[in-house]
């Protein structure tokens, strides 16, 4: 892991000294307060820009700076106005702070710190609220981002420039403290993390409140992930939050806001028969960064090797008769077949052969071109298109990609996977949201396979049509729905609805929200009754999330409207200022107007230096990962960047660095961007099994497209048996392939039940194939197989 920061002339890392984070989790909403302490250890006044990541869907709602004993609380203003005020303050020698969201990627923020005097401290506090994502095991995931990977931007696109910022790497010079307080109406079962935690302390006997701290000594060299487990996690819930009595009349903050959390349950008769048709297109990142290791533990794989194992499992899990294709992308893209082909033994074998040959050898990350090509291909009649996209998520033209996915949402569903530390949450979650699919993140020692197979299960679910949301409220009360219309529902996945309540009840104290939709021509209704009485101690988190949801909807509407955007822009700015949350058109500005003396002398602008690392086969890479609090300053001089040393390509490229930094936070910049080489981003040090020797993947690799196995020595090796042990035990009445397939099922259910989510479709195909052979009663075979593997699996369990 590269640890980066601003350097002095003596090559010393400055000036971030500590990070203190407090997290308050209420059910599935978290409020995060981060305080970063900076010290100017230079002999001259300092101005710097700090670039850092935040969750893409976070609502930044507070920004303040404390200099000495004086605290300056920032105001939300129109972005251009805030910039002008900042420039005026800095030019006149006043201390000023400007916090703004990137125009190209909402998970990247820039903090400009102006006029820090020599030796002066500045404690900057940022507070944001965000919803916690539901994981495949029903846990809720909180992530404190530590890594901001470089974002590749296609030449001439004029998009963001994070990919062009680099710095000297060394030891982390700052400390991190993290405390978490969890409260929930449902008992807390447990809390897990990828980092070392102190013991969980329950505050009440009913286990509805608990606290935990990050153990001392944590090096903030990876994302901090927490996984919360509640009892009965799929129970629908509602939170009604009271408005602010002093807020302007007619504003969102004045009225109560309700947040509805639903978990649709599809009828069992529909779920028992998953779809067997579809066009499955797998789009794999093959840029240089995919050669990075998933983690630092024993037996760790590179990202591309993990992805190849996952493609193997996906190809074995597809239903016979569907269509499929595989794309690899980087600076250019390649496809296995000119167009999607029918899934059968021959096409599967050809695809698996090419998967084995896949390498992370396509240079930079360019995801837009392969998507444009895929969308230009006509869809297969009666085979709905399902797009699976695997990437580090390091691109600069995020919004352009999302607009493209949204434009084609009626022809496909998009399932996206962020691989490794620092994957852009804006890109990964955005593609899934705009493509009516589902997003997953795989970091550290996480296994990619179970998360991908959960998404395959979603892809095989029939699409939901005609979704409607109806409210039943007491007389005198009305609701304005703030969320975008629900366009996708999956079995057991959460659907959030925000509503603004207006008026006063004439007596009733209960409301009802009803979600109706059609599933395979069947009408389905899910309903929740909720109390209109406001929940106590919510801290306006629901209002801010509701405002952020509405702002995001308006921003998307603005992009789709082209030139006629002034009215929408005005509404975004008004709502952002009223609610005090960030948007692409506003910024937080804080100026120390009460300072008794202005800063004198020229400001020191630091040049960000670059270390070159040799990265195999004579390729020179740029060590350019940026960490939370990694200080990135700017200079009026050009900065030289190292590029991949390829034939006919210059080794260095001069870019106006200060211009590029400014343009990253400005929409519509026409400045050409320089390609950047991806770099290492590793995290956990926990040991993991070597997937090359994983018997489950060995067994899966031997399955035929139809679902059966051959009885041979390779199958025996996967079981850890000899071929004679398998053949000598075979009952006389069954042929070899039936016996082999039955043994595979018994082994999966008896020895690998904890990994069922990974092999569920492999087993379904196998059971279906055995039933098609019509071999009669297999009870004796099951008994013999149980003895062979030391299992106690029943025939009914196998589904044969």
* Model confidence at 423: pLDDT above 90: no
Tokens of 549: 């949801």
Whether omega for the bond prior to residue 374 falls within 30 degrees of 0, making it cis, is no
**171-184 tens-digit pLDDT:** 455 678 899 999 98
Enter the tokens of residue 475. 């007389």
Q: Three-state SS across 27-45?
A: CCEEEEEEEEEEECCCCCC
Determine, yes or no, domain membership for 216: no
Kind of pairing between the strands at 279-285 and 323-329: parallel
Instruction: Report how far residue 51's alpha carbon sits from residue 667's, in angstroms, rounded to the nearest whole number.
Output: 17
Predicted confidence (pLDDT) at residue 389 exceeds the cutoff of 90: yes
Distances (CA, A) of 541 to 54, 58, 75, 127, 135: 17, 11, 18, 11, 22
For residue 61, count CB atoms less than 10 angstroms from its CB and return exposed for 0-12, middle for 13-18, buried for 19 or more.
Answer: buried
When pLDDT is averaged across residues 524-537 and rounded to a whole number, the result is: 86
Domain-terminating residue out of 460, 495, 529: 460
Q: Is the pLDDT of residue 81 over 60?
A: yes
Inside any domain, residue 266: no
Residue 568 lies in a domain: no
Give the C-alpha separation, 92 to 480, whole Å: 46
pLDDT, tens only, 771-787: 999 888 888 899 999 99
Distances from the Cα of 230 to the Cαs of 183, 191, 208, 310, 537, in angstroms? 10, 9, 9, 29, 20
What pLDDT shows up at residue 526? 85
Distance CA 37, CA 65 (A): 10
Bridge partners (DSSP) of residue 152 are 395
In contact, 677 and 365? CB cutoff 8 Å:
no
In a domain, 323, yes or no: yes
Last residue of a domain, one of 460, 494, 516: 460
User: Which residues span the domain enclosing 743?
Assistant: 694-798
Q: Which two tokens stand for residue 410?
A: 């009626």
In percent, how much of the chain has pLDDT > 90?
Answer: 36
Give 104-122 pLDDT, tens digit per residue.
677 778 888 777 788 888 8
pLDDT winner (highest mean) among 362-366, 618-622, 699-703 = 699-703
CA distance from start to end of the chain: 49
* Token digits of residue 631: 């200080």
The predicted pLDDT at position 535 comes to 80
Q: Is residue 267 part of a domain?
A: no
Within-domain flag for 32: no
Residue linked to tokens 């080794």: 651
How many independent structural domains does the chain possess? Answer: 2
Q: Is pLDDT above 70 for 640?
A: no
Angle at 743 between CA 742 and CA 746, to 5 degrees: 90
pLDDT for position 342: 96
The CATH number that applies at residue 331 is 3.40.50.410
Instruction: Give the number of other CB atoms < 10 A from CB of residue 98.
Output: 26
Residue 436 placed within a domain: yes
Asked whether the predicted pLDDT for residue 167 surpasses 50, the reply is no
Q: What CA–CA distance (Å, rounded) separates 493 from 532?
A: 25
Lowest mean pLDDT among 93-97, 560-564, 671-675, 696-700: 671-675
Q: Give me the pLDDT at residue 74, please.
A: 92
pLDDT band at 252, cuts 50/70/90?
very high
pLDDT for residue 741 is more than 60? yes
Query: Would you place residue 450 in the very low, low, confident or very high pLDDT band (cuts 50, 70, 90)?
Result: confident
What whole-number distance in Å separates Cα of residue 598 and Cα of residue 89? 10
Say if residue 581's pLDDT is above 50: yes
Task: Phi first, then psi: give them for residue 587, nearest 5 degrees.
Answer: -150, 155
Q: Which of 440, 460, 480 is the last residue of a domain?
A: 460
Report CA 602 to chain centroid distance, whole Å: 42
Range of 32-41, 430-439, 660-669 with top mean pLDDT: 430-439
Which tokens sit at 780?
């004796």
Provide the β-strand partners of residue 38.
16, 122
Domain-located, residue 320: yes
d(CA 641, CA 58) in angstroms, rounded, equals: 32
Indicate if the pLDDT at residue 637 is higher than 50. Answer: no
Average pLDDT over residues 227-249: 88
Look at residues 598, 566, 757, 429 and name the one whose alpha carbon lies nearest to residue 78.
566
Q: How far is CA 287 from the centre of its chain?
A: 19
Q: How far is CA 236 from CA 260, 383, 490, 522, 695, in A?
A: 8, 33, 15, 22, 40
Whole-angstrom CA distances from 251 to 187, 197, 543, 569, 713 are 36, 42, 11, 17, 72
Band (pLDDT 50/70/90 cuts) for residue 311 is very high
For residue 474, the model assigns a pLDDT of 92
The span from the CA of 655 to the CA of 163, in Å, is 12
Confidence of residue 241 (pLDDT cuts 50, 70, 90): very high
DSSP 344: S
How much is the pLDDT for 565?
63
- Closest-CA residue to 327 (of 283, 276, 271): 283
Of 264, 286, 459, 263, residue with least CA distance to 360: 286
Please check whether residue 265 is in contact with residue 526, taking contact to mean a CB–CB distance below 8 angstroms.
yes
CB 439 within 8 A of CB 412: no
Listed in order, strand segments (DSSP E) in 452-559 are 464-472, 477-481, 495-503, 510-519, 522-531
User: What pLDDT is recorded for position 774?
Assistant: 83
* Region for residue 418 given its phi and psi (left: phi exceeds 0; alpha: psi -120 to 50; beta: otherwise): beta
Segments in 343-447 forming alpha helices (H): 345-356, 368-376, 398-407, 425-434
- Average model confidence (pLDDT) for the chain? 78
- Predicted local distance difference test score (pLDDT) of residue 27: 85
Give every CB contact of residue 449 below 8 A, 6+ residues apart in sequence. 309, 310, 313, 758
Q: What is the pTM of this model?
A: 0.70
How is residue 602 written in tokens?
Answer: 């020229």
The confidence band for 493, taking pLDDT boundaries of 50, 70 and 90, is confident
């Amino acid at each position: 892991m590269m640890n980066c920061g601003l350097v002095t002339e003596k090559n010393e890392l400055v000036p971030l000294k500590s990070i203190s984070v407090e997290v308050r989790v209420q059910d599935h909403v978290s409020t995060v307060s981060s305080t970063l302490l900076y010290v100017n250890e230079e002999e001259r006044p300092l101005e710097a820009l700090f670039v850092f990541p935040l969750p893409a869907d976070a609502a930044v709602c507070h920004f303040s700076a404390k200099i000495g004993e004086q605290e300056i609380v920032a105001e939300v203003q129109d972005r251009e106005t805030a910039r002008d005020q900042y420039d005026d303050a800095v030019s006149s020698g006043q201390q000023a702070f400007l916090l703004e969201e990137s125009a190209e990627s909402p998970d990247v923020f820039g903090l400009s710190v102006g006029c820090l005097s020599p030796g002066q401290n500045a404690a900057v506090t940022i507070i944001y609220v965000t919803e916690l994502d539901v994981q495949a095991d029903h846990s809720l995931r909180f992530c404190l981002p530590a890594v901001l990977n470089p974002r590749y931007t296609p030449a001439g696109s004029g998009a963001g420039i994070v990919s062009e910022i680099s710095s000297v790497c060394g030891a982390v010079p700052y400390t991190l403290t993290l405390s978490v307080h969890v409260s929930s109406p449902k008992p807390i079962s447990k809390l897990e993390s990828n980092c070392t935690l102190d013991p969980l302390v329950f505050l009440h006997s009913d286990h509805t409140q608990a606290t935990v701290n990050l153990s001392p000594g944590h090096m903030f060299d990876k994302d901090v992930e927490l996984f919360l487990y509640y009892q009965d996690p799929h129970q629908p819930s509602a939170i009604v939050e009271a408005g602010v009595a002093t807020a302007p009349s007619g504003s969102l903050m004045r009225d109560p806001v309700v947040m509805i959390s639903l978990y649709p349950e599809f009828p069992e008769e529909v779920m028992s028969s998953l779809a067997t048709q579809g066009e499955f297109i797998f789009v794999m990142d093959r840029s240089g960064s995919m050669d990075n290791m998933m983690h630092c533990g024993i037996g760790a794989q590179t990202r591309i090797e993990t992805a190849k194992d996952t493609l193997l499992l996906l190809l074995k899990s597809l239903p016979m008769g569907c269509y499929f294709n595989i794309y690899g992308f980087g600076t250019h893209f390649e496809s296995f077949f000119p167009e999607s082909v029918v899934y059968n033994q021959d096409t599967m074998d050809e695809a698996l052969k090419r998967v084995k040959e896949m390498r992370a050898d396509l240079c930079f990350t360019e995801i837009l071109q392969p998507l444009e090509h895929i969308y230009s291909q006509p869809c297969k009649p009666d085979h709905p298109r399902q797009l699976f996209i695997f990437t580090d998520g390091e691109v600069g033209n995020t919004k352009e990609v999302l607009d493209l996915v949204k434009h084609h949402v009626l022809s496909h569903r998009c399932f996206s996977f962020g691989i490794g530390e620092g994957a852009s949450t804006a890109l990964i979650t955005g593609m899934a949201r705009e493509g009516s699919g589902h997003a997953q993140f795989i970091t550290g020692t996480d296994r990619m396979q179970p998360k991908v197979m959960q998404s395959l299960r979603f892809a095989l679910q029939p699409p939901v049509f005609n979704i409607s949301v109806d409210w039943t409220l007491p007389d005198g009360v009305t609701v304005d729905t703030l969320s975008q219309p629900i366009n996708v529902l999956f079995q057991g996945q959460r659907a959030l609805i925000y509503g603004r309540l207006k008026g006063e009840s004439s007596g009733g104290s209960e409301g009802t929200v009803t979600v109706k939709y059609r599933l395979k021509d069947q009408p389905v209704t899910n309903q929740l009754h909720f109390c209109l009485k406001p929940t106590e101690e919510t801290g306006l988190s629901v209002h801010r999330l509701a405002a952020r949801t509405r702002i995001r909807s308006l921003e998307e509407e603005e992009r789709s409207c082209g030139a006629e955007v002034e009215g929408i822009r005005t509404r975004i700015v008004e709502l952002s200022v009223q609610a005090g949350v960030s948007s692409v058109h506003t910024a937080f500005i804080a100026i120390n107007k009460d300072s008794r003396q202005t800063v004198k002398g020229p400001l020191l602008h630091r040049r960000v230096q670059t270390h070159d690392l040799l990265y195999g086969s004579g390729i020179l890479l740029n060590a350019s990962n940026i960490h939370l609090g990694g200080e990135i300053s700017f200079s009026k001089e050009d900065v030289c960047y190292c590029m991949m040393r390829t034939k006919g390509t210059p080794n260095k490229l001069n870019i106006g660095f200060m211009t590029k930094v400014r343009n990253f936070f400005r929409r519509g910049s026409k400045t050409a961007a320089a390609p950047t080489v991806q770099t290492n981003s590793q995290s956990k040090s926990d040991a993991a099994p070597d997937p090359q020797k994983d018997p489950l993947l060995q067994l899966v690799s031997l399955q035929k497209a139809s679902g059966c196995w051959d009885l041979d020595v390779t199958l025996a090796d996967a079981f850890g048996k000899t071929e004679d042990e398998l053949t000598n035990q075979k009952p006389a009445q069954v042929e070899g392939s039936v016996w082999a397939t039955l043994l595979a099922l018994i082994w999966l259910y008896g020895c690998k039940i904890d990994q069922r989510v990974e092999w569920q479709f492999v087993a379904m195909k196998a059971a279906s194939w055995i039933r098609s052979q019509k071999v009669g009663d297999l009870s004796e075979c099951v008994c013999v197989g149980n003895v062979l593997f030391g299992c106690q699996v029943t025939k009914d369990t196998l589904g044969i």
